[in-house]
Chains A and B, each alone.
Chain A
Amino acid sequence: MQHVDDALLIAYADDALAPAERGAVEAHLVSCAECRARVDEERALAQRASAVLGIGAPDAAVVPSFDDVLRRTGRSDATSSAAITTQRPTRRSFRPLALAATLIVALGAGWIARTLFLSPAFNAPEQRTEAAADDAARSAARSEQAEPGEQPPLMPDQAVTPGAADTDAAPAERQSFEALEEVGAEADAQQSQVAVVPPAPSAAAPPAADTSASTLMRRMADSAAGARADVVAERVVAVAPAPPPPPPSAPAPAQQKAAVMESATAVRTVTAPGEVAAADAEWQGTSAAAAAGRGTVVRGVPDAPVEVVWVGRSTAPWRARVVQRIDGAAVEIVEWRALGAGTAGSEGTLPDGRSYVFTTSGSALLRLRADLPLARLRAVAGQIAPLE
């Protein structure tokens, strides 16, 4: 069998390929265990190297105020960063990708108000607008210095003020933002925000964990260069879902999660950023419809509440994983790609008391697990159908 060039596999493992190339590699990986193993190997190696590089590195959580930087530039009026951005007389043309990147950061750190302020709309020489932007920048800078957990002051009010200076640039921004909101709303409600400046960890926690979150988001934005803003946002959500925060929310502690299927009977939730990046899950959300919109029809019990949907990477042994609430219990339904993960009809009880049932639905092989009596789970299995 022809294999993929090692350089491409490495780039794939690093998420450094453009969508077209990535698709081609993925297509090969579906049927080539050797290349898949190479990709896994490289990812593990990259993780290990990152860990070594992180040893002894400075505490990443404390980012000094931007004012310190401004003071160094020798400006006499160094107390407001808005002074720098608003002095440009020309209006910048709207750049979707840059805005998306800003909005992605904004979602993570509750900076939505800030982004609205620094858009071209507020470069008008109008005194009132500049003053308002000035104040917002100051309060935003101040809020960044606040302890994690404190509410950023004035943010909701400032967010309301700029509505008056609406320009043609604003609707385009709002459009992208709506796309982000829509995608964000589908994210798993259990996932918390990804903070750009996470709170200080204990000394024992590896600094590598803190930088990687923002690193990962940047890499996702980079590799989608040229894509539309909402597509970029979707991809970010794929790894780090962030529900749109209400304006007064403070930056929450960062906690990305992903699902890794270790075997037919074991799922592991990973939280370390390196592991999250390498996880088997390609996408997670809370709606089967959203998964279908991405091209993966998931199966489950129609009309039962869906709590979370995971879509597996093409290299993962599973295609989809759904958790639904049935009879008060969380029922996990995993669809496997290949047979051999368990035989249909096989069923039993796990050591922890949960029941499991393997079944087929159409051409899909599914495994159900839940803290329900086996007979009940068997009945549930009989109801499995594609979800819309």
Chain B
Amino acid sequence: MGADWEAVYRTTFSDLVRYLYRKVWDAERAQDLAQESFARVLDRERHAGADDEVENPRALIFTVAANLARDEARTVIRRKKHLALLKSDTEAGGPEEPDPVDEMQRDAERQAAQDALRKLSERDREVLLLWDAGLSYEEIAEQTGLAQGAIGTTLSRARRKLVAAYETMEGRHAARG
């Protein structure tokens, strides 16, 4: 008997989209890939037979999603980040016209966040993103191949670097205007 995939979907979808967003930097694409990840896992499940029980459905979803995102990066030409970010903002935005000054400020912040994240090593970034998506130390260790005892210090270091880089960059971007 397999896991209750709809329940996993409900509880994990938002986190998965967020996780993917920070890999593909496109809200629509992230949502698309998130659904695709679930679809692939369900397909695999169906063919695996009734005996195979998925130990940790959530971790599996993230693994599949990470692979999809990596493939995506290789084959798809990314749109200009700027445009993609603006697009995702209008999708989620409110009814009023956004204040242009506000818009620029938000833009600067987003760019800074993106750049700051890129400053991290791939391993540190992955650990941080998985933690932010709700995985436990054990799950993160399993996914990344790191020792469970190293997760905490890796996380702390990644957080520090991210926040420091962000604060530096936000200043620069905002100044540029």
Q: Contact: A53 with B93, CB < 8 Å?
A: no
Q: Any chain B CB within 8 A of the CB of A376?
A: no
| B residues in contact with A105, CB < 8 Å | 7, 10-11
Q: How many residues of B contact A (CB 8 A)?
A: 69
A38-68 Cβ-contact flags toward B at 8 Å (1 or 0): 0000100110111011111111110110101
A83-113 Cβ-contact flags toward B at 8 Å (1 or 0): 0110011111000001000100100010000
| A residues in contact with B4, CB < 8 Å | 85, 102, 118
A204-215 Cβ-contact flags toward B at 8 Å (1 or 0): 100100110011
Binds B, one of A216-224, A295-303, A335-343, A348-356: A216-224
In the complex formed, the residue of A with least CB distance to B18 is A57
Q: Contact: B10 with A197, CB < 8 Å?
A: yes
Q: Contact: A58 with B162, CB < 8 Å?
A: no
Q: Contact: B35 with A72, CB < 8 Å?
A: yes
If A56-B88, A58-B21, A196-B10 touch, whether A214 touches B15 (CB-CB below 8 Å) is yes
Q: Contact: A53 with B136, CB < 8 Å?
A: no
Q: Any chain B CB within 8 A of the CB of A34?
A: no
From residue A69, how far is it (CB to closest CB) to chain B in Å?
5
Q: How far is the CA of A42 from the CA of B160 in the complex (A)?
A: 9
If A14-B155, A57-B21, A58-B21 touch, whether A69 touches B160 (CB-CB below 8 Å) is no
| A residues in contact with B152, CB < 8 Å | 6-8, 10-11, 14, 16
Q: Any chain A CB within 8 A of the CB of B43?
A: yes
From residue A224, how far is it (CB to closest CB) to chain B in Å?
11
Q: Contact: B162 with A49, CB < 8 Å?
A: yes
Q: Contact: B9 with A214, CB < 8 Å?
A: no
Interface residues of A in 197-255 (CB under 8 A from B): 197, 202-204, 207, 210-211, 214-215, 218-219, 222-223
Q: Contact: A203 with B92, CB < 8 Å?
A: yes
Q: Contact: B2 with A88, CB < 8 Å?
A: yes
From residue A298, how far is it (CB to closest CB) to chain B in Å?
32
| A residues in contact with B138, CB < 8 Å | 222
From residue A124, how far is it (CB to closest CB) to chain B in Å?
13
Q: Contact: B113 with A223, CB < 8 Å?
A: no
From residue B84, how far is it (CB to closest CB) to chain A in Å?
10
From residue B78, how far is it (CB to closest CB) to chain A in Å?
15
| B residues in contact with A66, CB < 8 Å | 6, 9-10
Q: Contact: A73 with B14, CB < 8 Å?
A: no
Given A69-B39, A118-B7, 20 more pairs with CB closer than 8 A: A11-B137, A16-B136, A45-B163, A49-B132, A49-B158, A49-B162, A49-B163, A53-B18, A53-B132, A53-B162, A57-B18, A63-B10, A63-B14, A70-B39, A72-B35, A81-B5, A84-B42, A90-B1, A218-B11, A218-B58
